[in-house]
Chain A
Amino acid sequence: AQKITQTQPGMFVQEKEAVTLDCTYDTSDQSYGLFWYKQPSSGEMIFLIYQGSYDEQNATEGRYSLNFQKARKSANLVISASQLGDSAMYFCAMREGPKNDMRFGAGTRLTVKP
């Protein structure tokens, strides 16, 4: 069964506007970690933000914030004030037990329009 679901294969946003990338996950564990990575066309994976399942506050890192809704099992990434350099693939990922290996969603391709 798919553990991480990203339902938006592609998204467009106007420069300087905010955009939300959706991510839902499936786990029966109480303790797990949620991550977002950015992959530009050059191919490297860049860590953006982390949210622990026990964290009560939503994580923020500069223009990135994670909208964590535990009951809904969703961990959406919000990018504020989009920039042209934000155009990339974005992957949601989760670590859960027993091995805590990181699993990735299918990704969302974000295109920022000037």
Chain B
Amino acid sequence: DGGITQSPKYLFRKEGQNVTLSCEQNLNHDAMYWYRQDPGQGLRLIYYSQIVNDFQKGDIAEGYSVSREKKESFPLTVTSAQKNPTAFYLCASSLPGSYEQYFGPGTRLTVT
């Protein structure tokens, strides 16, 4: 059963702590993406990766970091440098050269 999984579904952290969000896919997609969505807002691109061991900053990369050591996995770390980390985080993947992105179920992060 192919798809994209994100864990956990809900995550609570104290301000000043780093937190890592998991994203795994078994669709054999080369490209993976991280987006952030705030209430009433569209999706904003944080980072993307077209191939293993390579990734690029999106529009709002400050305060975030990623790694792409395996084709199936693209974890996102929200660091303490991110000013407003509370949001809905969405991971997506696509075939190389394709814009058709498919999303995981998302992780809702709350930082207090």
Q: Do A and B bind each other?
A: no
Residues of A that sit less than 8 Å from B by CB: none
B-side residues, CB < 8 A to A, are none
